[in-house]
Amino acid sequence: MAVPGPSRAPSNDDDERRNASSAEADALALTPAPGGAALEVSGTSAPLSEPTPLLPPSKQGSVLWRVRGMIRTVRPSQWVKNLFVLAPVVFAKHLTHPSIIKSAIGAFGVFCLLAGAVYTMNDIVDAKADRVHPVKRFRPIASGQVPVSVAKTMAVALVLTALGGALLGPIKFFIVALAYFAQNVAYSFGLKKIAYVDVGLIALGFVLRVLAGGFATNTPISGFMVGCTALLALFLGFGKRRHELASAANAGKQRAALEAYSPQALTVALAITGIATIGTYLAYTLDHDTQRFFQNPWLWATTIHPLFGVVRFLQLVVSRPKAESPTQEILRDVPFMMNIMIWVAEVVFIVYRLRPS
C-alpha cells in the first residue's frame, strides 16, 4: 500500500542529478517546469502527471522544503498498513483494556518507524529506476529534494530508534520486529527482483505485523487470522504488480521483477487469492470456536465487506492506470474507505456488543 508532493522548479544543486551522467540527465530531463504545467523532455513539452500537493509548496532549497521531502519519504499515509498490528487485540476482545492497548500502540509505533526506514531504503535503492517512472520521479530522493546522504542518515536513525523501542517489550516482539526489518533489507537489496518471491515477502511482512501485535500484548493469534492476512496481502501485492505491468511502457527499467510476470498469470493469481481471502474469512466467522468465543452467530454477515473490498480493488487496478499504486488509491477512494469503516463498526458491534468484554 508516496504521498503527493509539491512541484519543483529547475535546480542546479540537485544532488541526484549531479550524481547521474550528463547524458542520462539530458535524456531523462526529470525536472518539472514551475507551476507544474509541463515537463521538459529533450527539448519538448509533455503533460505532467505529478500529484496535487497536500500542502502549499515551500521555497525550493529551504530547510522547510527539505524537511517536507523527508516526511514524504517515510510515507506517513502508508502507515495505515501497520494497523494489522492491532488486529489480534481487536478480535481477542481486548480493545477496552488500557494496559493491553498501551502495549499495542507501542508496537504500532515501532512498526511505523521501521516502515519509514524501509521506505527510505527502498527509495535510495530505486532512485535511478524511479526517475523513468511517470509519477515516482517526483519522489523526494529521486528528484533530489532529499539528498542520498541525508536519506541514509534518516534510515539509520529510524531503525535504531525502532529496535530500541522494541527492546522495551517482550523478547518475542523484538525478534519479530528484527525479522521484519531483516526481511525488508533482503527485499530491498535483491529479492524484490525475483518475480513472485517479491510479492511473497510483502505478504510475509503483513503476517509479521500480526504476529508482532500478538506477542507485544500476549494475545493468542488464530490460524484463520494468519491465513487471511497472508492471502489478503498476496492479493494486494499481485494487484499492484498487475497495475504496474499494465501502466509501464518500460516495465523492466521500473521494476526488474515485472519482466517475469505476465498479465494472464497475474489475473489468475488475483482470482485465486481474492476468492481464497473471502473464503478464509467466511470460514473463520462460521467456525464453531469463533462463534462460541464471541457468543454471536452473526459475524458471517460481515463477509459482504471483504467481498466488496476485493471487487472494488480490482476495479481500481483496471480503471486507474495512471495512478502510482492501487494500494494508495484505495486510501483515496471514498466507496472503499466507507466500506472499511462500516465493516469495522459492524465487527465492533458484534464482537463487543457495544460494551467491554
- pTM of structure: 0.75
d(CA 198, CA 131): 21
b/e per residue, 194-211, with b = 16+ CB within 10 A? ebbbbbbbbbbbbbbbbb
Largest CA distance in the chain: 69
Q: What residue segments make up the domains of the chain, in order of their start?
A: 8-219, 222-357
pLDDT number for residue 255:
65
Topology of domain 8-219 in CATH is: Tetracycline Repressor; domain 2 (1.10.357)
Which SS3 state, helix, strand or coil, does residue 44 take? strand
Mean pLDDT, each 10-residue run in order, the chain (357 residues): 41 42 37 37 42 61 84 90 93 88 96 94 86 82 88 94 96 97 89 91 95 95 95 94 76 68 92 97 93 88 95 90 80 92 90 61
